[in-house]
Amino acid sequence: DQQVKQNSPSLSVQEGRISILNCDYTNSMFDYFLWYKKYPAEGPTFLISISSIKDKNEDGRFTVFLNKSAKHLSLHIVPSQPGDSAVYFCAASGLGAGSYQLTFGKGTKLSVIP
């Protein structure tokens, strides 16, 4: 039973346009959410995060939106660049007292076309 779902395995976007990656979760106990970016043959690298007490967090070209009632979050990349082409993982944390363990989705492969 998947608690963090990324239903789009892949996404293609033109350079300069907006990329929107989506993530849904089922467990209302999750209280912190992160996005990781992964290039081939490398480990995931942290991109941006959001606490459940916020509905938006912005860092440069990257913005994460959280809709708690819908148990949904999204990552917006504006403008998209070819170097953004990678697999993006949504992760959630907060299960268990004092736990910072991450539960990951399956990932979405973003291709930014020049």
CA atoms of 24 and 14, how far apart (whole Å) = 25
Q: Which of 41, 53, 70, 97 binds other proteins (CB under 8 A)?
A: 41
Nearer CB in complex with other proteins: 7/101:
101
Determine the number of helices (DSSP H) and then strands (DSSP E) in the chain.
0, 11
Per CB under 8 A, contacts with other proteins among 72-91 are: 89, 91
Question: From the CA atom positions of the chain, what is the Rg in Å?
Answer: 14
From 37-45, 53-61, 66-74, 75-83, span contacting other proteins (CB under 8 A): 37-45
